[in-house]
Amino acid sequence: MPECFVAKASELKDGDRRIVVSGRHEVGVFFKDGNYYAYSNYCVHLGGPACEGILVNKVVDVINADRTYEGQTFTDEVHFACPWHGYEYELKTGECIADRRLKLRKYDVVRRGDDVFVVI
């Protein structure tokens, strides 16, 4: 499996990403909270650049013990949103949060010294 150079690890700050294009593959590589994640950059919806949108935490409704509605807040679960239409994906899994049966193709990321590679 060919490896494609992504970036120097020392250049990637928390929340940074790179888009790696290799032949017919287009991969978004994220660096977040000390981990690397890489997914296909083609949204499962209409093929938008899924990995090029904002990082945003999961939104939840806050429901009280008596089942009344309190408001909304963010959780610790990090998502990225396709900038075309807002399809949201969980950063750790690549699953589409609206229907987790849908997911982006996941790629392996390897680090050799200060060099980060994605396995295409």
Examine residue 7 and tell whether it contacts another protein (CB under 8 A).
yes
Examine residue 18 and tell whether it contacts another protein (CB under 8 A).
yes
Residues 78 and 53: their CA atoms lie apart, in Å, by 13
Q: Which of residues 86-105 bind another protein (CB under 8 A)?
A: 86, 88
Give how far the C-alpha of residue 45 lies from the chain's centroid of Cα atoms, to the nearest Å: 15
Residues 22-61: x/- map of binding to another protein (CB under 8 A)? xxx-----------------x---xxxx--xxx-x-----
Examine residue 6 and tell whether it contacts another protein (CB under 8 A).
yes
Judged by the rule CB under 8 A, the positions of this chain that interact with another protein are: 4-7, 17-24, 42, 46-49, 52-54, 56, 81, 83-86, 88
